[in-house]
Amino acid sequence: MGRGSLGWTVVRLLIFVCTTWITTAGIGLSARASVTSRRVTAHMAKTVSLVETGHLTFDPSLERGAAIGERGSAVGTYNAPVEVLLTIHAHYVTADVTIYAHGGSIAGAADANYTVTGSVGSFYGTLTIKRGTGTFRHISGKLQFKGAINHQNFKMWVVTEGKATY
């Protein structure tokens, strides 16, 4: 083996190193390009002041166990149909509330103190938004929940008020 063969060995080694470096650099650039093209876009949260006043009437098709089913319409921020399942206990009420606004629905659960005067039961407490659909799929918030129900005809009014984020 002469000096010539050592030169070719060095040249072949340099070619191997350079092609390996170029290939690795190319893979790295294409990987970086693919990561850049899949950027996740952030959703800007929107906060809205909700004020809804609902006037509801008894709907036996909504009843679930001891819950009284009520259906009607709400006027305020969204002006939309609303359903309430109200369970009356001795000194408090619980309720599942769903409003069917344009673009999706908003559902929550309420807990409120309850007092009776004559034939009218009044309640005052908190409604926690549990879930939403469509435009409101990421909604959250705690709202004031107050209203009354007439024990003779089961007509009910309810007001929800507060801020929600979606």
- What does the pLDDT average to over 143-158? 97
- Options 2.60.40, 3.40.5, 3.30.1310, 2.40.350; CATH for 47-165 is 2.40.350
Predicted pLDDT of residue 29: 46
Dump the DSSP string for the chain: --HHHHHHHHHHHHHHHHHHHHHHHHHHHHHHHHHHHTPPPPPPP-EEEEEEEEEEEE-GGG-BTTBEEEEEEEEESS-EEEEEEEEE-SSEEEEEEEEEETTEEEEEEEEEEEEEETTEEEEEEEEEEEEE-GGGTT-EEEEEEEEEEETTT--EEEEEEEEEE-
Average pLDDT, the chain: 85
Distance between CA atoms of residues 82 and 76, nearest Å:
12
pLDDT at 21 over 70: no
Distance between CA atoms of residues 157 and 54, nearest Å:
5
pLDDT at 91 over 50: yes
- What does the pLDDT average to over 131-160? 97
Per-residue confidence at 14, pLDDT binned at 50, 70, 90? very low
pLDDT at 16 over 60: no
- What does the pLDDT average to over 26-55? 68
Distance between CA atoms of residues 97 and 90, nearest Å:
20
Cα-to-chain-centroid distance, residue 137: 4
Per-residue confidence at 44, pLDDT binned at 50, 70, 90? confident
Per-residue confidence at 45, pLDDT binned at 50, 70, 90? confident
- In this structure, of 17-21, 125-129, 139-143, the range with the lowest mean pLDDT score is 17-21
- What does the pLDDT average to over 136-151? 97
- What does the pLDDT average to over 94-101? 97
pTM of structure: 0.73
pLDDT at 160 over 90: yes
Per-residue confidence at 38, pLDDT binned at 50, 70, 90? low
